[in-house]
Amino acid sequence: MLITGLLCGLLLGFVMQRGRFCITGAFRDMYVTKSNKMFIALLIAISVQSVGLFILRDFGVVEIPAENLAFGAVLIGAFVFGVGIIYAGGCATGTWYRAGEGLIGSWVALFTYMLFSAMMRTGPLADFNNALKSHYIEQKTIYETLGISAWWLVVLLSAVTLFLVFKHFIKPKAKLAVLKPKKTGLAHILFEKRWNPFITATLVGLIALIAWPLSVASGRNFGLGITGPSANIMQFLITGDSKYINWGVFLVLGILIGSFIAAKASNEFRFRVPDTTTLLRSAFGGILMGIGATLAGGCSIGNGLVETAFFSWQGWLSLPVMILGTWFAAYFTIIRPQQQRLATAI
């Protein structure tokens, strides 16, 4: 059943690359460009997955794997991860799929992300990780704490998402210039046409949902996850121990391959080597991502897309804190340099 992880990853990598589904951009743009479009897209993906997930739960196909809330570790880790994805130029999944496009900076960020994720689990930083996570609150999901059915939260999330989508569509929009297509039919749609982010988000949500029964069938009770599998690859390469190879490892490798296929077919693949400063920033960002995601118990996919879908405290606490981390880093890497250039020009 491990091969289904590869197939799921192929789909996810292809869709994210062609749809330019970037969670880092979703968080950053709310602050830098005052655009909420990609964040609404994220909410669509969460909502689609959430509805399907609780149907699967009610039919006994999956169990909700929520854990007690390691409050301090989640707060610190989510913020550090948010800072890291700005420096790395992409979140965990974004780094995997951009590596598939040929971005050398993403390969550097991916290496340090995998390395420090592994170090936080079984390496020299494991004691630090375990010490922070040992302090927790015995609260798992929001609906259990409130003593209500999860479906009330599913309905609330879906209603808020639909309202935001409606508001977005009724806003006046500037007409964008469109180049004359070179392809026709399905080839044009798959490899040339600009994908609507809300359609992309719906596809991401469906893939995230499909991942649950496929992963459960392999003995792994979770949906999409990036940090654990990324660490597992590094641990396997160092130790050779096959216990680290699971469904999630095939998932992330599939993301890389799926992205490569999409980029190659749409003529977007090429090796791009950045300057030394950018490479160092990417490496630094990957380090922060590995440390932060491990502390928080997940990245922008594990926490921001999956844990939020089953309304864990961990997911909904880490999401806004990750956003704050991206805004903090965006101020120092984007906003302040712009202000300084304007001041110099005046």
Q: Say what the pTM is.
A: 0.95
pLDDT tens digits, residue range 50-88? 999 999 999 999 999 999 999 999 999 999 999 999 999
Q: What secondary structure letter does DSSP report for 308?
A: T
pLDDT tens digits, residue range 32-53? 999 999 999 999 999 999 999 9
Cα distances from 194 to residues 13, 43, 200, 212, in angstroms, run 16, 20, 10, 29
H or E element at residue 320: helix 313-330
Average pLDDT of the residues in 215-228: 96
pLDDT tens digits, residue range 236-278? 999 999 999 999 999 999 999 999 999 999 999 999 999 999 9
Mean pLDDT for the chain?
A: 95
For residue 320, give every residue at least 6 positions away whose Cβ sits within 8 Å of its Cβ, in sequence order, or none. Answer: none
pLDDT of residue 35: 94
pLDDT of residue 250: 98
Give just the sign of the alpha carbon dihedral 107, 286, 26, 233: positive
pLDDT of residue 319: 98
pLDDT tens digits, residue range 85-110? 999 999 999 999 999 999 999 999 99
Confidence of residue 316 (pLDDT cuts 50, 70, 90): very high
Let me know how long the chain is. 346
Average pLDDT of the residues in 307-330: 98
Average pLDDT of the residues in 156-178: 88
Give just the sign of the alpha carbon dihedral 236, 241, 246, 250: positive
Residue that is written with structure tokens 């340099």 in the block: 337
Confidence of residue 135 (pLDDT cuts 50, 70, 90): very high
Beta strands in 232-327 (DSSP E): none
Confidence of residue 176 (pLDDT cuts 50, 70, 90): low
Cα distances from 56 to residues 69, 209, 216, 218, in angstroms, run 24, 9, 12, 16
Residue 219 predicted with pLDDT over 80: yes
Q: Give backbone dihedrals phi and psi of 139, rounded to 5 degrees, phi first.
A: -135, 130
pLDDT of residue 55: 98
Q: How far apart are CA 318 and CA 295, in angstroms?
A: 11
Residue that is written with structure tokens 């599939």 in the block: 254
Q: How far apart are CA 162 and CA 264, in angstroms?
A: 35
Residue 112 predicted with pLDDT over 90: yes
Residue 65 identity: P
For residue 53, give every residue at least 6 positions away whose Cβ sits within 8 Å of its Cβ, in sequence order, or none. Answer: 62, 209, 212, 223, 309, 310
Average pLDDT of the residues in 313-336: 97
pLDDT of residue 177: 65
Q: Which two tokens stand for residue 80?
A: 């550090």
